[in-house]
Amino acid sequence: MWWLKATVISLSVCAVVGGRDFPPGFKFGASTAAYQVEGAWNASEKSMSIWDTYVHTNPHKIANNATGDVACDSYNNWKTDIELASKMGLHFYRFSISWPRLLPSGFPDYISKDGMRYYNNLIDALLENGIEPVVTIYHFDLPQSLQNLGGWTNPLVADWFANYARVVFSLFGDRVKTWITLNEPITFCDISYNIGNAAPGHTSPGVGSYICNKNAMLAHAKAYRIYEKEFKSKYNGKISISNQVFWFEPHTKSDDKAAEKARQLMAGMYYHPIFSKKGGWPPVIERIIAKKSKKEGLPYSRLPAFTKEEIKLVKGTYDFLGLNFYTSRTARVAKPGEQIGSWPFYGAPDLDIIVDVKPKWKKSDIWWLYINPEGIRNQLAWFKKEYGDIEILITENGFASYNDDINDKDRVQYYKDHLEQVLLAIKEDGVRVTGYSVWTLIDNFEWGDGYSVKFGLHHVNFDDPKRTRTPRASADYYASIVKSHSLDINNKITDSGTKKIKKSAALILLMVFINTCLSA
């Protein structure tokens, strides 16, 4: 009976090791952002945000002149959103708080009762449904009153944000245990100030963008320090920042240096000051911009320096790393005189680097989203190499389409391929990824793309005043992954990895028993 024994033992070992299972305790979620789903732009005491102003004064900059005035009307439909998350069995729901909804003046002199009630209701109902709230404090919607004072280019913004964050911690910190201070400074600093096609819509390439970069780092750090000092011992939550990062590969074999520079620009600018041992800007980027600024005749670098105190203030302000990942690029050194364009997406002028894509990467419906699932694994491994064995939470990952298809096979494939790579990063590369969140729960207002681009696990009918939500195939697929806690979704032995291990252990014991009987 040796063959029976061998088969039984190897089957049991396989079940225990669970090649395609996510680690016990790994959490799955879905993400949204206030301006993209809430609507109710003028409800109650809410004041104007820079996105309200931007869409109303520049209708031509948004696909089909769309606005977020109503969006998914989640301000009224939040119970439905929670039902969707609950039906999928999500462990957490990531949403953002609208600063002008909570603090209409932008300052903590007055807290809107309706604003507070809205977020209290949302948080309480999530918890009642066994869903953890993961809260982004800032997701692009600065109060217009603060923009009138210079917004993210005024150094005081770090204190304005920190004071707002303190209000948020004191109101919701008893129930919210995972915080993201800022979402994607690369978008509200670099895309915004370099290209001008995001609120506030002012361009100041290579100047305003870098000032915003520095102020964003200080804003994050001050909020982190407030939480650390005033709330952490009481509430014991975790707090960090999320940025969107493209993975960069060398364009040809000789472009390793260019690719690494591009990584240090896109990821390093927002993670090096916080996560590296030394702190401050990535040295290679700091050197390049200082040299360029000097050549331009400036007596200082366009990238504002951190003081020693500021480096210390920012360094180490994390409990995990938040990553938004969608796509990859190649990088190569620009040829002399070659037109570069504005960073990001079009190239990196200060670095004299041209970014491109590999022909084998399939494009989604939107122009910037090329599909390279290996990119997420490489990016995760790069973080470990650069910053050590840190905890990583994937706060966004998703696929865009122009069609309304309910049977969204391409999106299902995107999630499958990316989750496979996340699993390889965990199991093969030993990266400590503890959770994964899709962008996004429901179709929404996708900034400059308006409602033309769909990222949702659920379709939303924007012609229907009720904004009816319909699950797509990807919602069912994601739900089955969450349920089986594994990429082997047909192998629905149990609904959690931990239970699976217990069952396998019981199976082994049974086999050992049978085996003993057979031998006897």
Ligand X SMILES: *[C@@H]1O[C@H](CO)[C@@H](O)[C@H](O)[C@H]1NC(C)=O
Taking the least distance from each CB to ligand X, the nearer of 69 and 230 is: 69
The binder of ligand X chosen from 3, 60, 229, 252 (CB under 6 A): 60
Q: How far apart are the first and last CA of the chain?
A: 12
Task: Please answer whether residues 272 and 406 qualify as being in contact, where contact means their C-beta atoms are separated by less than 8 angstroms.
Answer: no
Taking the least distance from each CB to ligand X, the nearer of 46 and 315 is: 46
Q: Annotated catalytic, 184?
A: no
Please report which residue ranges of 173-303 form alpha helices under DSSP H.
Answer: 185, 192-195, 208-226, 232-235, 256-263, 269-275, 283-295
What string marks each residue from 65 to 104 as x (binds ligand X by CB under 6 A) or -? x---x-----------------------------------
CA-CA distance, 153 to 393, in Å (whole number)? 29
Min CB(359)–ligand X separation in Å: 34
Alpha-carbon torsion, ordered 290, 149, 52, 365, to 10 deg: 0
Task: Please answer whether residues 356 and 407 qualify as being in contact, where contact means their C-beta atoms are separated by less than 8 angstroms.
Answer: no
Give helix 473-484 / helix 409-427 axis angle, nearest 10°: 30
Min CB(64)–ligand X separation in Å: 5
Taking the least distance from each CB to ligand X, the nearer of 60 and 253 is: 60
Min CB(451)–ligand X separation in Å: 12
Min CB(70)–ligand X separation in Å: 6
Beta bridge partners of 394: 323, 436
CA-CA distance, 339 to 500, in Å (whole number)? 56
Taking the least distance from each CB to ligand X, the nearer of 101 and 329 is: 101
Min CB(81)–ligand X separation in Å: 20
Taking the least distance from each CB to ligand X, the nearer of 62 and 482 is: 62
How, if at all, do strands 432-439 and 238-250 pair? unpaired
- Residues between 285 and 324 with contacts to ligand X, criterion CB under 6 A: none
236 phi, psi to nearest 5 deg = 55, 40
Alpha-carbon torsion, ordered 124, 320, 456, 64, to 10 deg: 100
Give the residue carrying structure tokens 């590369």: 429
Task: Please answer whether residues 241 and 220 qualify as being in contact, where contact means their C-beta atoms are separated by less than 8 angstroms.
Answer: yes
- Binding segment toward ligand X, per CB under 6 A, in 62-70, 137-145, 371-379, 417-425: 62-70
Give the residue carrying structure tokens 């050590």: 388
Taking the least distance from each CB to ligand X, the nearer of 42 and 407 is: 42
Min CB(60)–ligand X separation in Å: 5
Q: What is the three-class DSSP state of 475? A: helix
Min CB(461)–ligand X separation in Å: 18
Min CB(42)–ligand X separation in Å: 4
Task: Please answer whether residues 256 and 334 qualify as being in contact, where contact means their C-beta atoms are separated by less than 8 angstroms.
Answer: no
- Binding segment toward ligand X, per CB under 6 A, in 48-56, 64-72, 302-310, 438-446: 64-72
Among residues 132, 184, 396, 446, the one annotated as catalytic is 396
What string marks each residue from 8 to 47 as x (binds ligand X by CB under 6 A) or -? ----------------------------------x-----
Count of residues that bind ligand X according to CB under 6 A = 6
Taking the least distance from each CB to ligand X, the nearer of 68 and 435 is: 68
CA-CA distance, 41 to 299, in Å (whole number)? 44
Give helix 157-172 / helix 208-226 axis angle, nearest 10°: 30
- Residues between 261 and 280 with contacts to ligand X, criterion CB under 6 A: none
The binder of ligand X chosen from 2, 3, 64, 308 (CB under 6 A): 64
Task: Please answer whether residues 442 and 460 qualify as being in contact, where contact means their C-beta atoms are separated by less than 8 angstroms.
Answer: yes
Taking the least distance from each CB to ligand X, the nearer of 70 and 146 is: 70
The binder of ligand X chosen from 24, 25, 59, 283 (CB under 6 A): 59
407 interacts with ligand X by CB under 6 A? no
The tokens of 221 are what?
């750090």
Interaction site with ligand X (CB under 6 A): 42, 59-60, 64-65, 69
Q: Would you name the residues annotated as active-site residues?
A: 396
